[in-house]
Structure 1
Amino acid sequence: MTAPGRTDIVHAWAYLPDFAETLVRLTEVEDRLGNFEVFHFENHNLSMRQVADAANAKLKSMPRMFFYLAALFGPSLRATLEMLYLWDVPHALKDNRLQQVIGHVPKTPLPQILATLK
């Protein structure tokens, strides 16, 4: 497993099937929502180290120089470079409002998610 930055910083992760189910459930209560409501989806707040440990995987960091060199070859690669700072800043989401609106928010346990990747 290769991390594009620090391995000890917590990030917000979303398991796509959980996220999709949540969006479907939001559409089911659309008539109770305002025009421009904001919902955060708190699925897993983990560091790359925690993910690698749970997966029993080796973890290494990709050298930053790779991103600077890659950015020379296209706009999407430059955009990746611009977002690289997020790997150095901890961030997590809280879904209190989402829970108020739809009730239980799906959260597949990490070991179960990792089992689907094998």
Structure 2
Amino acid sequence: VPHASAKEDSYKGYYIPKGAIVFGNSWSVVAMLHDPATYPDPEEFRPSRFLTSDGVLDPAVPDPEVTFGFGRHLCPGRFMALESMWITMACILAMFNIERTKGDDGRFLSMPEELFASGI
């Protein structure tokens, strides 16, 4: 969402006059969440990266809340979104047995790759 600067300013040597239209850099959010120094192997889906060896949340790993924006204009629905996801996961885990399927020989079957897709 574009904004107008309230007063003149400078940022890293760039002059920003009062009233200039400025945009938050949404790509910086993606870059922050893909920083290998913070999240090793950022392209891999590994929820365990947020846990200690004991299985509790690791306080040293930053919470990826930047997905909800930054500054004064954080998403007002972020708490509802997080709580909705939590209650949905709690209900799924309470109602279903989530496990891999075993074949006739008793060995676990692997999932066919065509079932996975990237994107929404």
TM-score by length of 1: 0.21
Structure having greater relative contact order (Cα 8 Å, sep ≥ 6): 1
TM-score by length of 2: 0.21
Larger fraction in helix:
1
Q: Which has the larger radius of gyration?
A: 2
